[in-house]
Amino acid sequence: MNHNNNNRARYPPGMGIGRGGFNPNLGQNPSLNQNPNLNQNHHAFQARPPYHHQQQQPQYVQRHLLQPPPPQQQQQWLRRDANAVDEVEKTVQSEPMDSSSQDWKARLKIPPADTRYRTEDVTATKGNEFEDYFLKRELLMGIYEKGFERPSPIQEESIPIALTGSDILARAKNGTGKTAAFCIPALEKIDQDNNVIQVVILVPTRELALQTSQVCKELGKHLKIQVMVTTGGTSLKDDIMRLYQPVHLLVGTPGRILDLAKKGVCILKDCAMLVMDEADKLLSPEFQPSIEQLIHFLPTTRQILMFSATFPVTVKDFKDRYLRKPYVINLMDELTLKGITQFYAFVEERQKVHCLNTLFSKLQINQSIIFCNSVNRVELLAKKITELGYSCFYIHAKMLQDHRNRVFHDFRNGACRNLVCTDLFTRGIDIQAVNVVINFDFPKNAETYLHRVGRSGRFGHLGLAVNLITYEDRFNLYRIEQELGTEIKQIPPQIDQAIYCR
C-alpha cells in the first residue's frame, strides 16, 4: 500500500460522506429548515459588521472564511474499460445476469449529492471505487443509498486490508470516514446464513454505540444481517432476551458485553472480528481490563481492527500483546482538520456569558456544540442560554440514559440549534449540521481539544472553533498549540470589539 498522499489523485467536491452520512433535510423543525443558510452555507463563519459600513477584514479571515473556496481544477477522469466493469459485475452479482439486474444502480434511492466544498482530508484519494473491492451487490446498494460516492483515504487504505483478514492499527483524523472503513468490511465478511455473533464493535460511549449500530443497519439494509446494540444503563434482561434471537453483529460498550459474555448468553467463540473504535479511549484504565478479559472469550484466530485519531503509548503495548503482524495505517500528516478555523478570545470568567451572547449574534450558526468542564456548569450554562432567548439542549453522563438518548436523537434531527455538553460528547459523535464548536471552558490537554474541535468541519467541510480563554488558561493555550502543531488565532477585530463593548 502506498501511503504517500502526494501521489493520490484529488477528486472535486461532492464525493463521499463521512460517519453517519449527510441528510440535506436536517430535521422536521420548520424554523431550521426555513433558514436558507442552514444547508447551503459554504462558509462556516461570517462576521456581520457592527455598523452600516463594511470594515476592512484581516487577510486571513478573507482567505479562509469570507471568500468562496477556489474552484477545483478541471481534470479528465479515465473510466475503466467495459471489460473490466463486466468482470466486477460478474464477481459482485449473486444471481445470473438478466435484464432486471442490469440496471440495479438505476433503481437505487440515492440521496441528493452533497455539493459543499471539501478539503484534502477527504478528497486526496487514489481514485478507487467501492466496486473495486468486489463487495456483495446488496452491500454496494446500501453504500450508495447512504450517499457514499467513492471511498475516502482511510476507507481506501483499510477496506481491502481488512477483507484479507489482517489485523489493522489505523490512525486518521476525526470526521474522515473511519466508521465506514470498518463497518463495510465487517458487513462483507459476515455469513448471514450462520446465526452466530461474527463481529463485535467496541466503542467507549453509549451515544457512539447507537450511532455506529445505526450506520451498520443503514449500510446493510439490503443484507439479512441482524445488528444488536448493547450498552450500560439499559435493561440487562432485554439484552439477554434479544441474544436468544439471531445476532450477527454486536455493537456495544466493553463492560456490558463482558457482563453478557460472563453470564454465558453472549457467545463469542465464533466471533472472527473485533473492532475497537476510539481505541485510545478504550485502552484507558477505565476500559482496558474489561477489553483484555473480553478477548479471552474470542477464538485465537480472531482479527482485531483498531481505529483512532490519537494513539498514546498504551496502544503500542496492547498492539504488541494482542495483534499479529498488524498492518499500520497512519494518515495523520497533521493532527487538526484542514477545514477548521480556530480562534481564541481573552475574557474574564464573569464576561463569558456576555461573550457567548455576542458570538451567537455575530456568527452564522447552523448548529453549535458548546463544551464545559463540569456537569454543574453544563446545566447552569444551558439555563443561561435559554434565558437569553436561544434554543438549547444539554447532555452529560449523570443524566438518565433514556433522557440522553432523546436529547441526542432530537439534536441530531435538528430540533434545537445549540447543545451544551461535557466531554462525553467528544468521541466520534457525527452531526453533519454542526459548523461551530465553542469551548466555553478551555480543556486541560491537547487530546481533549483535538476531539472537541473535531465535532465541527466533519468529512472535509468547513467549520469554526472558538475558545474563551481566561488568564489561567493562557499557558494551556500555548502548550496545546505546540503539541498539536496548529495555530489558534486571535478572534477578528470586529467581533473582538463587540465582545468588550458594554
Kindly report, residue by residue over 62-103, the tens digit of the pLDDT: 333 334 444 443 333 333 344 444 444 444 444 444 435 558
pTM for this model (two decimals): 0.60
Residue ranges per structural domain of the chain: 112-330, 335-500
Fold assignment, 112-330: Rossmann fold (3.40.50)
Q: Rounded to whole angstroms, what are the CA distances from 406 to 33, 288, 403, 410, 448?
A: 20, 29, 5, 6, 25
Digit-coded pLDDT (tens) for 165-174: 999 999 887 6
State mean pLDDT over 447-472.
79
pLDDT, residue 42, reads 39
| Residue 280: all three cell numbers together | 485510545
Coil/strand/helix, residue 237:
helix
For the record, the C-alpha cell of 272 comes out as: 472472527
pLDDT tens by residue, 60-69? 333 333 344 4
- Same fold: 112-330 with 335-500: yes
- The per-residue pLDDT for range 377-394, each reduced to its tens digit, is 999 999 999 999 998 999
Query: What's the pLDDT tens digit per position in 224-247?
Result: 999 999 998 888 999 999 999 999
Question: What is the three-class DSSP state of 155?
Answer: helix
- Between 147 and 309, name the one with better pLDDT: 147
Residue 188 pLDDT exceeds 80: yes
Mean pLDDT (whole number) for 196-223: 93
What is the average per-residue pLDDT within 443-468?
Answer: 78
Q: What is the band of 194 on the pLDDT scale with cuts at 50, 70, 90?
A: very high
Question: Average pLDDT in the 302-326 region?
Answer: 85
Instruction: Give me the pLDDT at residue 333, please.
Output: 61
Q: What is the edge-to-edge ordering of all strands in the sheet holding 434-439?
A: 392-395, 418-421, 367-371, 434-439, 463-469, 340-346, 489-490
The CATH number that domain 335-500 falls under is 3.40.50.300
Instruction: Give the pLDDT mean for 49-56.
Output: 39
Which pLDDT belongs to residue 80? 38
As a whole number, the mean pLDDT across the chain is 77
